[in-house]
Chain A
Amino acid sequence: MSESVVTNVVVPMNFPYNYRVGQYIETYIRGLGEGKILGIKCPSCGKVMVPPRKICGVCDRVMEEWVEVGPEGTVENYTVGHVRLNLGEVERLDTPVLLALIKLDGADSLLAGEVRGIEPEKLGDGLRVRAVFKDPAGDSLSDLEYFEPEK
Chain B
Amino acid sequence: MRNVGIIGVGYTPVFVSKRKDVNIAELISEAVDAGFRETNLKPEDIDAFTFGNMQTFEGLNMPHLWASDHIRALDKPIIRISTGGTTGMSTLQAAYYYVASGMYDVVMAVTWEKHSEGDAQVGLSGIIIPEVIAMVQSGMDLAGGRGVGAMGGGSTGTAAYQAMSYLHHSGADPEHIDKMAAMERSNAAKNPYAHLRKETTVEDIQATPFIAWPLRYGHTCPTTDGATVCIVASEEKAAKLADQVAWITGLGACASDPCTGNLIEGQITDPAEQEPCCIASAKALEMAGIEDPKKEIDMCEMYDGFAHQSLMWLEKTGLCEVGEAHKLLDAGELEIEGRIPTNASGGVFSTNAIGTSAMNRPAECALQIMDRVEGGHKIPKKIKNALAHGWGGMFQYVTVMILSDTPRKLYPDGR
Give residues in A with beta carbon < 8 Å to B: 7, 11, 17, 19, 21-22, 25, 28, 47, 49-51, 53, 56-58, 76-88, 90, 92-93, 96-97, 99, 101, 103, 108-114, 120, 125, 140-142, 144
Contacts and interface: CB of A to CB of B under 8 A. Distances in A.
B143 A53 contact: no
A46 to B, nearest CB: 12
B66 interface: no
B138 interface: yes
A34 B154 CA distance: 30
Given A11-B59, A51-B138, A103-B269, A79 B146 contact: no
A56 B122 contact: no
B161 A141 contact: no
A82 B211 contact: yes
Interface in B103-129: 119, 121-122, 125, 129
B265 interface: yes
A88 B139 CA distance: 20
A58 B156 CA distance: 28
Contacts of A88: 119, 121-122, 125, 145
B212 A99 contact: yes
B150 A85 contact: yes
A99 B157 contact: yes
Contact of A50 (B139, B141, B149): B139
Contacts of A19: 129-130, 132-133
Contacts of A142: 141, 143, 147
Contact of A112 (B121, B140, B164, B210): B140
Of A22, A78, A92, A112, most buried by chain B (CB within 10 Å of CB) is A112
Interface in B152-178: 152-154, 156-157, 160-161, 164-165, 168
Contacts of B132: 17, 19
B213 A80 contact: yes
A77 B211 contact: no
A79 B136 contact: no
Contact of A79 (B133, B209, B212): B212
A83 B264 CA distance: 21
Contacts of A50: 139
B338 to A, nearest CB: 31
Given A47-B266, A51-B139, 4 more contacts: A88-B122, A93-B151, A109-B266, A142-B143
A137 B140 CA distance: 17
B61 interface: no
Contacts of B1: none
Given A86-B150, A88-B145, A114-B151, A81 B157 contact: yes
11 contacts: A17-B130, A25-B133, A57-B257, A78-B164, A79-B212, A85-B153, A85-B154, A87-B145, A108-B267, A114-B151, A140-B141
Interface in B191-225: 209-215
B77 interface: no
A84 B264 contact: no
B165 A77 contact: yes
Contact of A56 (B144, B146, B215, B266): B266
Contacts of B210: 80, 82, 96
A100 to B, nearest CB: 9
A109 B151 contact: no
Contacts of A96: 210
Contacts of B257: 57
B59 A90 contact: no
A58 B140 contact: no
A123 B141 CA distance: 21
B153 A81 contact: yes
A120 B146 CA distance: 21
A116 to B, nearest CB: 12
B250 interface: no
3 closest A-B pairs (Cβ-Cβ)? A81-B152, A79-B160, A80-B213
Contacts of B161: 77-79, 101
Nearest to A58: B267
A38 B136 CA distance: 14
Contact of A101 (B121, B266, B269): B269
A7 B116 CA distance: 14
B129 A17 contact: yes
Contacts of A101: 161, 263-264, 269, 271
